[in-house]
């Protein structure tokens, strides 16, 4: 997300008024390079021996999805709900909602390039809080870290919009950056927690 918002901010600054005509296509086309890099990395990573063993047994199952819901439905629902919460907040910050809310055609009419700069800063903050959360979750537990993050997000979402609605850049930054703390606390332990809730 940091790369995406950073590239978008640069292209928006360079293309200016032409951003809506052609500028938006540049980061979109650049994403093809990111897909190629991702595929190169993924194809070079070997599966774990446990996955290889399980996948051999999976060929014997007629309807693996039925087995999944039968034996691990509860964990699947828990994981989906946990991801849903931080997915919504992540979308608000870096996925485009706050950008559209503040600078989109039907938004507040604020400078889109300044908003992209703030969102890029928020993406960098998100990296730091995610790394911290991964570390702290080893100390206090994955679920506790998630709970703290969700409570912070729930509490902060109301001041967030109050601060954004002032239209003042310092208030907007003050509203967005603290939200990345709760967001990081829900992303940091996520992969380990998902792996741990399944047998």
Q: Across the chain, what does the average pLDDT equal?
A: 88
Alpha carbon distance 19, 25 (integer Å): 9
Which of 11-20, 37-46, 102-111 shows the lowest per-residue confidence on average (mean pLDDT)?
Answer: 11-20
**pLDDT mean over 41-46:** 90
Closest CA to 90 of 135, 125, 137: 125
Per the CB < 8 A criterion, the answer to whether 129 and 188 are in contact is: yes
- pLDDT at residue 59, as a whole number: 62
- Assess whether pLDDT exceeds 80 at residue 118: yes
How many CB atoms are closer than 10 A to CB 144? 14
- pLDDT at residue 150, as a whole number: 93
Alpha carbon distance 31, 82 (integer Å): 28
Q: Concatenated DSSP letters for 34-94? A: HHHHHHHHHHTSPPPHHHHHHHHHHTT-S-HHHHHHHHHHHHHHHHHHHHHHHHHHHHHHH
Alpha carbon distance 78, 74 (integer Å): 6
**pLDDT mean over 12-17:** 80
Alpha carbon distance 67, 74 (integer Å): 12
Q: What is the tens place of the pLDDT at every residue in 53-90?
A: 777 766 666 777 888 888 899 999 988 988 888 888 88
Alpha carbon distance 166, 112 (integer Å): 16
Q: What is the tens place of the pLDDT at every residue in 134-164?
A: 999 999 999 999 999 999 999 999 999 999 9
SS3 label, residue 22: coil
- pLDDT at residue 61, as a whole number: 67
Alpha carbon distance 121, 32 (integer Å): 24
**pLDDT mean over 84-106:** 86
- pLDDT at residue 52, as a whole number: 78
**pLDDT mean over 119-130:** 93
- Assess whether pLDDT exceeds 80 at residue 16: no
Per the CB < 8 A criterion, the answer to whether 98 and 164 are in contact is: yes
The DSSP symbol for 198 reads: -
- Assess whether pLDDT exceeds 70 at residue 189: yes
């Amino acid at each position: 997300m940091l790369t995406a918002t950073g590239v978008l901010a640069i292209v928006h600054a360079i293309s200016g008024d032409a951003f809506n005509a052609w500028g938006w296509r540049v980061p979109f086309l650049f994403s093809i390079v990111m897909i190629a890099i991702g595929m190169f990395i993924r194809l070079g990573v070997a599966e774990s021996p446990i996955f290889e063993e399980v996948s051999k047994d999976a060929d014997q199952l007629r309807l693996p999805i039925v087995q999944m819901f039968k034996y691990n439905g509860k964990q699947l629902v828990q994981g989906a709900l946990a991801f849903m919460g931080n997915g919504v907040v992540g979308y608000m910050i870096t996925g485009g909602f706050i950008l559209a809310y503040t600078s989109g055609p039907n938004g507040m009419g604020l400078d889109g390039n300044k908003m992209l700069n703030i969102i890029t800063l928020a993406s960098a903050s998100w990296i730091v809080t995610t790394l911290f959360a991964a570390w702290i979750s080893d100390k206090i537990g994955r679920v506790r870290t998630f709970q703290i993050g969700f409570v912070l997000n729930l509490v902060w979402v109301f001041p967030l919009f109050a601060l954004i609605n002032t239209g003042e850049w310092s208030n907007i930054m003050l509203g967005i950056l603290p939200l990345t703390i709760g967001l990081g606390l829900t992303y940091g332990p996520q992969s380990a927690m998902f792996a741990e809730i399944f047998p």
